[in-house]
Structures are given as C-alpha cells and as structure tokens.
C-alpha cells in the first residue's frame, strides 16, 4: 500500500475535533499519515493517535452564558475567518511547502483555509459534517440566521476582497463559497438529517464518530448501589450556567435518583455551592461519558450532536436543553424522531426538568425509537467506514462541485442566509 498524506482542518471546538479522532486513527492504521492544522490545546488527543500537528494559538471566544443569537454565532464566525486569513492560512502554506498533502479534509467553518490551500496545491477535498449537512434544499444556516447579519456581511466582504485579489472568476467564486463539496461525509444516521431524502450520492452518512472499543466503558459504580441515575452535561460551549445545575439538584433533591454532572472546567466551585447539602449528587469538571452511560436511565444534555449520539449508542433516552439556534434544530429533531424531550434552557424549572426525565426514563415508545436509531447509526459503519471511503478517494481526482442557488444564498445580506 502506498502511504498517503491527509491534512485535516477543523474549527477549534471539541464538538468539531473529537468526532474526527477515530477516523484519523483508522486512517493511520491503514498506513496513511494524518496532519492536523489546529489550535495547540488539542495537541494531546491528536498526537495520542499518532497524528502530526501544525499548531497555532486560537483566540476565538466561546458562546458563553445568556441568550445566544444567530448574530453571536456570526460574530464568532467572523473572528475565526479573520484568524484563518491572518494566522492559519499563512501557517498552513509555510508548514506544508515541502510536504504537500494528498487530500484535504475539513469542516464548513474551516472552508476558507482548506479550500484556499487545496486550490494552490491542486489537491482534492472532502468536507466533513459533524452535524447536520447542507445541500441545494437544506442548510442549517438558513435556520440559525434570522434576518440580516452584520457579521456575515463582513465575512462576505473579506472573502470577496480575497477572491478578487486572486483574480477568481464568478463561477469559481460561487463554488468556493458553497456550503458543501463534491464529496461529503456526514457523521450522523441519515434519518437524523433534515430533508434527508434530498441528499444524493455526494453524501455518505456514516452514522456516528465513536470508536468501536472505548476504554473504561461501564466502569462507574453507583455509590449507593441502587436507584436510577441521570447523566447531566452542558458540553463545552454553554456550560457557564450554575443556575441550570442548581435547578437539576433541586429537581431530584430527596428522591432516589442519583445525578452525575459534568459541569465543565472552572465551574466546580459555583456548582458545588449550588448543590451544598444535597444528597445523591456527584460533580466532575470532565467525565468520559462511556464510563457512566451503561448505568444511566436518562441523559440530560445540551443539543451537541456528539453527546446525543453517544447517549443513543448506549440506548439512553434524551432530555435536550437548548440555548442556541442550532440547539433548537437538534431539539426539534429529537422530538420528531421520538428520541426524547426538548426544552429551552431559559424555561427550565426543577419541576419541568424532573417531569421530563421521568417521562423519557419510563416511556416504552421513546425506548423503542432510541433502539431503532441506535441500530441505524451502528449499521452505517461509523469511523471505520469513513476511513475506508477516504482511503479509496486518496488516489482519485475529485469531481468538480457545481454552484447552486442555495450556495449563493449562503452569503446573502438580504435574507441573512449563510
């Protein structure tokens, strides 16, 4: 087998990077080299699988607390685009000058660096979706951005100036701005994809991004030896919410439920203060979910796709707490597919939360739907299938992407589409 070199460009967020780790490990096992271009804080998981890394230091912010709007997300995108132009692209071109990769793998947020570099190198690209995908008929951005976005218009202006300076023709520019590529790998079950019937063979739905063998699975032990347990987490972007964790504690205080909470780095003092005196509560800054999920009766989580699919992989029903426009899309899908209950984070009360958890934990209908989704996601092949696809594409030229109406709408300042 000829060793090939894959460059991976991902937005520096755990929900973007973590889903790629097992795919990269499988590629390395197949004899290929993998190099990430990534914020240095992700060095440990990347280098642990034997991948190389071109490092930079990202200064992008988190979404944080309070109400998260489409404009907040657009502002984060603008910050990352500027960082891509000023830091990541120059660092990329310098690092790969004498070691040009054979294939470029990237997510939508990293499209500027990935597509610019791939064009200069004359190398094929594959777009990775660790969340719902986009095509001519559906784009998550059309649901996230409601109305004109000042930040997105600034993004468009910056990219237009860049393309004009490079003498790019209008057709090439439209393809450059597309929401998707000619080859796309989606790390979801297809039934989780809105308007899934409109996605053709340019898209491969591999079901999930979980490793086949997860160390420590089920190793958590119930401290009291009985009673139902709920895993509670708000992920890494919107976890600065001690009031939410306080509501969770109050919801189950005095019951036979045991709560395992993953509250995020730096949040333990405030959350422990909120739970002071309550029995049946344990808190962690970070926790490997597979250690506790086999024991959980329900999972209360933000609407991060990776967390939701990991819970489903163990057959656990969901209570999805939404804070962002994208969260609301995932929450809606959760209820439409019968996988659990969704509620706005701003409407959580102890009473409503307790009712939701009891509902999903005891609903035969929800349990059946979760079991069906689990079967579908596992049957889709996961990271091993994704790696085999990439392995097959490494030596092939990629088909040219064709610009379409929804691609051009992505950057429309009139309707706010991304």
Provide the β-strand partners of residue 204: 185
How would residue 212 be classed by pLDDT, with cut points 50, 70 and 90?
confident
Residue 394 belongs to domain with CATH number = 3.40.50.2000
Higher pLDDT, 17 or 164: 17
Q: Could you give the percent of the chain with pLDDT greater than 90? A: 61
Residue 18 has pLDDT above 90, yes or no: yes
Q: What's the first-to-final CA gap in the chain, in angstroms?
A: 41
Q: Are 299 and 230 in contact (CB under 8 A)?
A: yes
DSSP states of 82-151 as a string? HHIIIIIHHHHHHHTTTS--SEEEE-GGGHHHHHHHHHHHT--EEEEESS----SS--THHHH--S--HH
Higher pLDDT, 331 or 61: 331
Phi (first) and psi of residue 261, to 5 degrees:
-110, 130
How would residue 396 be classed by pLDDT, with cut points 50, 70 and 90?
confident
Q: Residue 214 domain-assigned?
A: no
What's the pLDDT at 410?
40
Q: Residue 41 domain-assigned?
A: yes
Q: Residue 192 domain-assigned?
A: yes
Q: Residue 45 domain-assigned?
A: yes
Query: Which residues, including other chains, have CB under 8 Å from residue 301's CB and lie 6 or more apart?
Result: 231, 232, 233, 234, 235, 307, 308, 311, 318, 319, 320, 321
How would residue 404 be classed by pLDDT, with cut points 50, 70 and 90?
very low
- Identify the helix (H) or strand (E) that includes residue 357: helix 350-362
Q: Residue 163 domain-assigned?
A: yes
Listed residue (218, 242, 237, 239) closest to 229, CA to CA:
218
From residue 74, give the alpha-carbon distance in Å to each of 146, 232, 348, 363, 365.
Answer: 11, 28, 26, 38, 38
pTM exceeds 0.85, yes or no: yes
Q: Are 355 and 348 in contact (CB under 8 A)?
A: no
From residue 112, give the alpha-carbon distance in Å to each of 118, 135, 156, 170.
Answer: 10, 18, 11, 16
Residue 10 has pLDDT above 90, yes or no: yes
What's the pLDDT at 405?
38
What's the pLDDT at 172?
80
Q: Are residues 307 and 166 in the same domain?
A: no
Q: Could you give the percent of the chain with pLDDT greater than 70? A: 86
Q: Are 350 and 247 in contact (CB under 8 A)?
A: yes
What's the pLDDT at 135?
95
Residue written as token pair 């991060």: 304
302 is in which domain, residue-wise? 229-378
How would residue 414 be classed by pLDDT, with cut points 50, 70 and 90?
very low
What's the pLDDT at 53?
97
Q: Residue 416 domain-assigned?
A: no
- Specify the DSSP class assigned to residue 186: E
From residue 244, give the alpha-carbon distance in Å to each of 289, 297, 326.
Answer: 20, 20, 19
What's the pLDDT at 411?
38
What's the pLDDT at 323?
86
Q: Are residues 342 and 353 in the same domain?
A: yes
Residue 416 has pLDDT above 70, yes or no: no
- Burial of 364 from C-beta contacts in 10 A (0-12 / 13-18 / 19+): exposed
Q: Residue 141 domain-assigned?
A: yes
Output the average pLDDT for the chain.
Answer: 87
Residue 360 has pLDDT above 80, yes or no: yes
Residue 197 has pLDDT above 50, yes or no: yes
Provide the β-strand partners of residue 34: 6
Phi (first) and psi of residue 348, to 5 degrees:
-70, 130
Q: Are residues 106 and 152 in the same domain?
A: yes
Q: Residue 108 domain-assigned?
A: yes
Structural domains counted in the chain: 2
Residue 330 has pLDDT above 80, yes or no: yes
Residue 158 has pLDDT above 90, yes or no: no
Higher pLDDT, 395 or 107: 107
Q: Are residues 310 and 257 in the same domain?
A: yes
What's the pLDDT at 91?
97
What's the pLDDT at 407?
41
What's the pLDDT at 176?
84
Q: Are residues 204 and 254 in the same domain?
A: no
Q: Are residues 358 and 401 in the same domain?
A: no
Residue 304 has pLDDT above 80, yes or no: yes
Q: Positive or negative, the Cα torsion across 100, 4, 16, 338?
A: positive
User: Across residues 289-309, what is the average pLDDT?
Assistant: 94
Q: Are residues 122 and 183 in the same domain?
A: yes
Q: Are residues 102 and 241 in the same domain?
A: no
Q: Are residues 315 and 364 in the same domain?
A: yes
Q: Are residues 236 and 185 in the same domain?
A: no
Q: Are residues 374 and 384 in the same domain?
A: no
- The angle formed by the CA atoms of residues 370, 376 and 378, to the nearest 5 degrees, is 100
Q: Are residues 54 and 188 in the same domain?
A: yes
Q: Cα(395)–Cα(102) distance, rounded to whole angstroms?
A: 8
Radius of gyration of the chain (CA): 21
Q: Are 380 and 373 in contact (CB under 8 A)?
A: no
Crossing angle for the helix pair 242-252 and 350-362, nearest 10 degrees? 60
What's the pLDDT at 242?
78
């Amino acid at each position: 087998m000829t060793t090939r070199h894959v460059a991976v460009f991902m937005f520096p967020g755990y929900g973007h990077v973590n889903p790629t780790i097992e795919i990269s490990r499988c590629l390395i096992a197949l004899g290929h080299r993998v190099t990430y271009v990534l914020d240095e804080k992700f060095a440990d998981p990347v280098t642990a699988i034997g991948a190389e890394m071109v490092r930079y230091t990202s200064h992008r912010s988190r979404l944080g607390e309070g109400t998260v709007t489409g404009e907040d997300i657009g502002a984060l995108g603008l910050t990352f685009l500027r960082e891509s132009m000023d830091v990541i692209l120059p660092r990329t071109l310098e690092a790969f000058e004498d070691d040009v990769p054979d294939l470029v793998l990237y997510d939508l947020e990293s499209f500027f660096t990935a597509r610019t570099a791939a064009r200069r190198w004359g190398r094929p690209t594959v777009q990775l979706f660790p969340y719902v995908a986009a095509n001519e008929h559906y784009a998550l951005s059309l649901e996230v951005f409601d109305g004109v976005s000042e930040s997105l218009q600034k993004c468009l202006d910056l990219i237009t100036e860049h393309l004009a300076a490079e003498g790019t023709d209008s057709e090439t520019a439209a393809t450059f701005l597309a929401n998707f590529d000619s080859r796309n790998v989606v790390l979801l079950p297809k039934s989780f994809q809105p308007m899934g019937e409109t996605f053709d063979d340019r898209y491969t739905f591999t079901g999930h991004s979980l490793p086949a063998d997860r160390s420590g699975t089920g190793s958590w032990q119930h401290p009291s030896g009985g009673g139902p347990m709920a895993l509670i987490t708000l992920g890494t972007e919107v976890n600065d919410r001690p009031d939410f964790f306080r509501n969770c504690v109050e919801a189950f205080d005095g019951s036979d439920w045991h709560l395992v909470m993953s509250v995020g780095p730096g949040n333990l003092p405030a959350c422990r203060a909120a739970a002071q005196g309550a029995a049946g509560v344990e808190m962690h800054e970070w926790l490997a979910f597979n250690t506790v999920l086999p024991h959980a009766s329900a999972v209360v989580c933000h609407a991060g796709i990776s967390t939701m699919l990991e819970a489903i992989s163990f057959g656990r029903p969901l209570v999805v707490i939404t804070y962002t426009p994208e969260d609301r899309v995932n929450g809606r899908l959760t209820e439409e597919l019968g996988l659990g209950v969704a509620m706005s984070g701003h409407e959580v009360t102890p009473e409503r939360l307790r009712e939701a958890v009891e509902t999903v934990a005891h609903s035969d209908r929800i349990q059946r739907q979760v079991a069906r989704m689990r079967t579908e996601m596992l049957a889709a092949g996961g990271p091993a299938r994704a790696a085999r696809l990439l392995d097959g594409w490494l030596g092939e030229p990629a088909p040219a992407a064709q610009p379409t109406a929804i691609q051009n709408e992505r950057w429309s300042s009139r309707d706010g589409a991304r």
